[in-house]
């Protein structure tokens, strides 16, 4: 059982200060309490091909790092509370992303100090606090976390927020008249320029993972950073980012076969709606982010904002500096539809434990 977590869904966010929250909270709490136990048992974590119940997040290794005064980059992170703070929708997908983040942060290959001075220990502590905090009252967030607005040098530090997804592509194990374009893995040596690769410089080196119908499908998979392919026999395979080469002709992205899940830059699973790609030179993988997300209608017109806690779990070639993030939207046609709905401006705050 997840310890001490209470959650529910409230459609609208409340601006600060929270006038009338005290009266409404009893109503919200009553509605939430009936679903707490059932929701916690539904939260699952995929480990290989099996699913196990989430019980508690993995503990941070003892004797790793030490508590010290926080020293952050003032050019990237500005101490500032959000001017609108919502009741958070704490659902099973958010819990899944949270636990994947915690598992990543206890790995020995993660640096103790990341970009902009954010430490691994504080990122992990942030996850522990999220697991234990009661989110029914927005004021609890302010008493539990420090917020740092991400500086973008744009008006009101706006950030362009876009969506990406994992394409589902029909493919063949071998080249045919219908399937002519290869998805390639990266050679161990002798990597030619992108222009040369596109002209066939890697032909005959047995680097083809699969063959697809069009060049556009290859380019879209490279743009998204991963893909799911389905072969004529119905079997499927996931291909993740396998490295890239830059030079004459731009950038060429390679692929590598991964397990039955979509992996981000930290080589752990992504969660649709909660994993985001950042520029890790400024925001380290493993950061927890409070986000103001644009809410667009079917025509692309901005109708308002929604608020969500997100997790920095990927990077992208098009994500440069702090002016843009990419929200992972899922697999196949549904993921594409969600990704197309996200292309506007919002704001971001990095969350760290209260000092």
Q: In sequence order, what DSSP letters do the residues of 159-200 get, joined into one string? A: EEEEEEEE-EEEEESS--SS--EEEEPPPSS----HHHHHTT
Q: What is the pLDDT of residue 305?
A: 92
Cα–Cα distance, 334 to 343 (Å, whole number):
16
% the chain with pLDDT above 70: 79
Q: Which two tokens stand for residue 79?
A: 């101490």
Inform me whether the pLDDT recorded for 254 exceeds 60. Answer: yes
Q: Strand locations in 205-278, DSSP E?
A: 208-212, 227-230, 236-247, 250-258, 275-278
Q: How confident is the model at residue 7 (pLDDT cuts 50, 70, 90)?
A: very low
List the one residue out of 295, 294, 305, 308 whose CA is nearest residue 349: 308
Do 148 and 349 touch, CB atoms closer than 8 A? yes
Contacts of 265 (CB under 8 A, 6+ apart): 241, 277, 280, 285, 313, 314, 315
For the domain spanning 170-257, the CATH number is 2.40.240.50
Q: Where are the domains of the chain?
A: 170-257
Inform me whether the pLDDT recorded for 10 exceeds 80. Answer: no
pLDDT tens digit sequence for 261-297: 677 765 778 999 999 999 999 999 999 999 999 988 8
Q: What is the pLDDT of residue 131?
A: 86
pLDDT tens digit sequence for 140-167: 899 999 999 999 977 778 999 999 999 9
Cα–Cα distance, 309 to 103 (Å, whole number):
18
């Amino acid at each position: 059982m997840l310890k001490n977590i209470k959650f529910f869904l409230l459609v609208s966010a409340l601006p600060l200060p929270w006038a009338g929250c005290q009266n409404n909270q009893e109503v919200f709490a009553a509605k939430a309490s009936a679903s707490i136990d059932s929701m916690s048992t539904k939260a699952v974590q995929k480990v290989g091909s099996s699913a196990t119940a989430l019980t508690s997040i993995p503990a941070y290794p003892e004797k790793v790092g030490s508590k010290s005064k926080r020293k952050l980059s003032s050019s990237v992170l500005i101490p500032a509370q959000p001017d609108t703070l919502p009741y958070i929708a704490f659902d099973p997908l958010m819990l899944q992303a949270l636990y994947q983040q915690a598992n990543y942060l206890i790995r020995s290959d993660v640096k103790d100090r990341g970009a902009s001075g954010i430490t691994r220990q504080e990122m992990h502590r942030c996850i522990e606090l999220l697991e234990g905090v009661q989110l029914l009252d927005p004021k609890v967030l302010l008493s539990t976390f420090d917020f740092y607005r991400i500086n973008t040098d744009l008006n009101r530090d706006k950030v362009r927020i876009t969506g990406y997804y994992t394409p589902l592509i029909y493919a063949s194990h071998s080249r045919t008249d219908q399937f002519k374009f290869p998805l390639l893995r990266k050679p161990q040596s002798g990597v030619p320029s992108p222009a040369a690769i596109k002209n066939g410089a890697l032909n005959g080196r047995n680097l083809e993972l699969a063959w697809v119908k069009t060049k556009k499908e290859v380019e879209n998979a490279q743009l998204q950073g991963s893909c799911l392919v389905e072969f004529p026999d119905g079997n499927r395979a996931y291909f993740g980012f396998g490295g890239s080469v830059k030079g004459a002709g731009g950038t060429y992205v390679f692929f590598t076969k991964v397990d039955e899940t979509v992996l981000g830059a930290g080589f752990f699973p992504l969660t649709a709606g909660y994993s985001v790609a950042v520029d890790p030179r400024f925001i380290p993988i493993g950061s927890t982010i409070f986000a103001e997300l644009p809410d667009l209608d079917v025509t692309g017109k901005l109708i308002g904002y929604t608020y969500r806690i997100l997790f920095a779990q990927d990077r992208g070639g098009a994500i440069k500096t702090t002016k843009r993030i990419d929200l992972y939207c899922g697999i196949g046609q549904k993921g594409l539809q969600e990704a197309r709905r996200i292309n506007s401006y919002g704001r971001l705050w990095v969350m760290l434990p209260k000092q």
